[in-house]
């Protein structure tokens, strides 16, 4: 057989291959790669850099400021695209590559697709040790990029140009597989990037990737239907899988038809509109009273597309009914079988619809559905109180959330956040009306995701009003993609809540009996406290900025800057100690068994008591 071939460098083959991978969105064929983020160094500038330049009109390359920032932006792009499209990130070797490892873990936890293309050391080893090579005394095959292995769903090191053929094919399978979806790392040895090979032309044929919708196994389906039919007080936990499956309308009709209240995880929030009568809002540690009261009593949890992480299950102390049964409707068996659940391994949309067919006229106990609705009304009153306007000199996070909601909330808004005290408050209080209108990275809860995430969301969804809410700590950790957003004209709004330190960890420290130590700036070892002028800092990167002194001023600034052409940063000082009392649940944070501090002893007593209500296994 004589295959037609084309002579390309390995890097040129990677670039050309990426341009040929397509998907279909709203009936239209579009490239599945939304672009490439790149920071060049000696490990990728000559090989990958030359190749990306040649395809720049088809697949654009964006210069970022920090490899972790660009990778977070790429991951946010994929999340905001419901995993239907994604990006690639290329770095040099050594520090550039390892700056992306945290992001790889972030994508791994959150099951989000991203293609990492870090440069690697010379495969031929002739110049060893090359600049930035981490030399292992005992294993010549190890490089810094081996750090990607445990946080990649698929990892390969390319030491010969032809290896890229099976590697890229496998990469695409993983990136587009609903169950295995996550980061892929193809570690590209610097010399091999530049090496030519006669690639088969067919390797570059256009290929269309449409998400697989796995149907349920019949036995599992029958068992799940029987389980649900015997339940009187069922709830649905809606996880991120509902959004990624684009099963939000199916979830709404399922809940309505069978009278089952829905509670939402951080990744699943916005699966139902906030205003939907059966949407009880957030569940678990940062849950509403409406959700958590139902969770305590429920006899059946139908977990759809959820990893059931500790914040969702209140560290497994939330569910108090001894007869509790769990159905794990999940495309990934690892998740479906968690906590002895009845697995229903399938796509969320397929599973909900097949189950609904089998359930026929089944309805939850009407008094259960009514109880849910009453609980929601009660919660809404509490939430209203927490978010009401104020003239306080230092407002709470909840009051700032209220202001953002009033000024800019609505169906066109996507709210982005990741770490600090805000995720808990937003989970409870933000009112998302559109699927994907709430974008929270709470699988890894990575400080510094917020600003970069805002950029990625805006690139994916330019039509949306993207609002990033971020604490001073997270902002300090990684803010430089503000400059990238100015460069790319991808404008969004950042509301920066400055409580002068790590407010949520300070509160956690106090709750666990610890002394106020090393969290708020005032409690740190210091010679002088920095007075950080965040507005000036952001302005220096080209952002439109405002410093506001009150909630009414914040609302006015949000309205006034809504149509600014550039990324806008609005800074407000907030109170470090106030959080929303209503709702919520215990979270397992291990308290020291022995300590000289009386407060720790008291906290330990409470901790041991709480542990007794934890289900295990």
Residues forming contacts to ligand TPP in the complex (CB under 6 A) are 419-422, 445-448, 471-474, 499, 502-505
The answer to whether residue 441 forms part of the interface with Mg ion (CB under 5 A) is no
In the bound state with ligand TPP, the residue whose beta carbon lies nearer, of 148 and 502, is: 502
What does the alpha-carbon distance between residue 65 and residue 68 come to, in Å, rounded to a whole number?
Answer: 9
> What are the φ and ψ backbone dihedral angles of 291, each rounded to 5 degrees?
-65, -50
In the bound state with Mg ion, the residue whose beta carbon lies nearer, of 305 and 471, is: 471
The answer to whether residue 472 forms part of the interface with Mg ion (CB under 5 A) is yes
The DSSP secondary structure of 109-173, one letter per residue, reads HHT--EEEEEEE--SS-TTPSPTT----SS-TT--GGGGGGGG-SEEEEE-SGGGHHHHHHHHHH
Smallest separation (angstroms) from ligand TPP to the CB of 61: 27
Q: 609 Cβ partners below 8 Å, 6+ apart?
A: none
In this structure, the dihedral spanned by the alpha carbons of residues 219, 221, 227 and 231, taken in order and rounded to 10 degrees, is -170
In the bound state with ligand TPP, the residue whose beta carbon lies nearer, of 289 and 445, is: 445
The interface with Mg ion within residues 488-527 (CB under 5 A) comprises 499, 503
User: Among 81, 350, 363, which residue's Cα sits nearest to residue 220?
Assistant: 350
What does 419 bind: Mg ion, ligand TPP, none (CB cut-off 5 to 8 Å by kind)? ligand TPP
The interface with Mg ion within residues 169-228 (CB under 5 A) comprises none
The answer to whether residue 436 forms part of the interface with Mg ion (CB under 5 A) is no
In the bound state with ligand TPP, the residue whose beta carbon lies nearer, of 191 and 472, is: 472
What does 504 bind: Mg ion, ligand TPP, none (CB cut-off 5 to 8 Å by kind)? ligand TPP
First to last CA, the chain: 56
Contact 305, 238 (CB under 8 A): yes
In the bound state with Mg ion, the residue whose beta carbon lies nearer, of 371 and 547, is: 547
What does 61 bind: ligand TPP, Mg ion, none (CB cut-off 5 to 8 Å by kind)? none
The answer to whether residue 473 forms part of the interface with Mg ion (CB under 5 A) is yes
Give strand pairing partners of 547: 571
Strand order, beta sheet including 21-25: 28-31, 21-25, 207-208
Smallest separation (angstroms) from Mg ion to the CB of 523: 12
In the bound state with ligand TPP, the residue whose beta carbon lies nearer, of 22 and 476, is: 476
Smallest separation (angstroms) from ligand TPP to the CB of 453: 13
Smallest separation (angstroms) from ligand TPP to the CB of 422: 6
What does 341 bind: Mg ion, ligand TPP, none (CB cut-off 5 to 8 Å by kind)? none
What does the alpha-carbon distance between residue 471 and residue 28 come to, in Å, rounded to a whole number?
Answer: 39
Structure tokens at 373: 């609705």
What does 505 bind: ligand TPP, Mg ion, none (CB cut-off 5 to 8 Å by kind)? ligand TPP
What does the alpha-carbon distance between residue 225 and residue 355 come to, in Å, rounded to a whole number?
Answer: 6
What does 492 bind: Mg ion, ligand TPP, none (CB cut-off 5 to 8 Å by kind)? none
The answer to whether residue 471 forms part of the interface with Mg ion (CB under 5 A) is yes
What does 514 bind: Mg ion, ligand TPP, none (CB cut-off 5 to 8 Å by kind)? none
SS3 56: coil
What does the alpha-carbon distance between residue 135 and residue 144 come to, in Å, rounded to a whole number?
Answer: 9
The answer to whether residue 423 forms part of the interface with Mg ion (CB under 5 A) is no
Q: Which residues bind Mg ion (CB under 5 A)?
A: 471-473, 499, 503
């Amino acid at each position: 057989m004589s295959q037609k071939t084309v002579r390309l460098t390995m890097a040129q083959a990677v670039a050309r291959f990426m341009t040929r991978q397509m998907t279909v969105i709203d009936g239209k064929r579009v490239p599945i790669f939304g672009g490439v983020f790149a920071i060049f160094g000696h490990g990728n500038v000559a090989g990958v850099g030359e190749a990306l330049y040649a395809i720049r009109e088809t697949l654009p390359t964006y210069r970022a400021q920090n490899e972790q920032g660009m990778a977070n932006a790429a991951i946010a792009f994929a999340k905001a695209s419901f995993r239907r499209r994604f990006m690639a990130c290329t770095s040099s070797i050594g520090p550039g590559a390892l700056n992306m490892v945290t992001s790889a873990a972030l994508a791994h936890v959150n099951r989000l697709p991203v293609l990492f293309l870090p440069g690697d050391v010379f495969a031929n080893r002739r110049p060893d040790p090359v600049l930035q090579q981490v030399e292992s005394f005992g294993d010549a095959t190890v490089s810094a990029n081996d750090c990607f292995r445990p946080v990649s769903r698929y990892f390969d090191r390319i030491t010969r140009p032809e290896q890229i053929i099976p590697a890229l094919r496998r990469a695409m399978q993983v990136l587009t597989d609903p169950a295995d979806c996550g980061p892929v790392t193809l570690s590209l040895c610097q010399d091999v990037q530049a090496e030519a090979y006669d690639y088969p032309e067919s390797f570059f044929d256009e290929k269309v990737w449409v998400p697989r919708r796995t149907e349920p196994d019949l036995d599992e389906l029958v068992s799940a239907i029987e389980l649900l039919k015997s339940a009187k007080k069922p709830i649905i936990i809606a996880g991120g899988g509902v959004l990624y499956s684009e099963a939000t309308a199916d979830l709404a009709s399922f809940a309505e038809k069978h009278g089952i209240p829905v509670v939402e995880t951080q990744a699943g929030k916005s699966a139902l509109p906030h205003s939907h009568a059966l949407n009880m809002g957030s569940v678990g540690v940062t849950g509403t009273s409406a959700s958590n009261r139902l969770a305590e009593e429920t006899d059946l949890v139908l977990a759809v597309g959820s990893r059931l992480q500790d914040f969702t299950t209140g560290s497994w102390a939330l569910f108090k009914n001894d007869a509790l049964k769990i159905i794990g409707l999940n495309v990934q068996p690892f998740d479906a079988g968690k906590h002895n659940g009845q697995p229903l391994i399938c796509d969320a949309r397929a599973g909900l619809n097949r189950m609904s067919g089998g359930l026929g006229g089944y309805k939850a106990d009407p008094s259960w559905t009514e109880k849910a609705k009453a609980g929601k009304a009660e919660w809404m009153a509490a939430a209203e109180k927490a978010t009401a306007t104020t003239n306080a000199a230092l407002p709470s996070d909840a009051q700032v959330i209220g202001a953002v909601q009033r000024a800019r909330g609505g169906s066109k808004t996507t709210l982005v956040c990741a770490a600090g005290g805000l995720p808990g408050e937003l989970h409870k209080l933000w009112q998302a009306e559109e699927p994907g209108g709430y974008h929270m990275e709470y699988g890894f809860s990575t400080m510094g995701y917020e600003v970069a995430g805002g950029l990625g969301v805006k690139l994916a969804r330019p039509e949306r009003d993207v609002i990033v809410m971020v604490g001073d700590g997270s902002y300090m950790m990684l803010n430089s993609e503000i400059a990238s957003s100015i460069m790319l004209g991808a404008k969004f709004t950042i509301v920066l809540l400055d409580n002068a330190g790590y407010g949520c960890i300070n509160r956690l420290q106090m709750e666990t009996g610890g002394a106020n130590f090393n969290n708020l700036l005032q409690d740190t070892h210091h010679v002088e406290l920095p007075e950080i002028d965040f507005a000036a800092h952001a302005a220096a990167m080209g952002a439109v900025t405002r410093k506001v002194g009150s909630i009414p001023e914040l609302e006015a600034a949000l309205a006034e800057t809504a149509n600014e052409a550039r990324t806008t940063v609005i800074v407000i000082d907030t109170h470090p100690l106030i959080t929303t009392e209503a709702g919520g649940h215990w979270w397992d944070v291990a308290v020291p068994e022995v300590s000289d501090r009386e407060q720790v002893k008291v906290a330990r007593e409470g901790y041991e008591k709480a542990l007794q209500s934890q289900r295990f296994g």
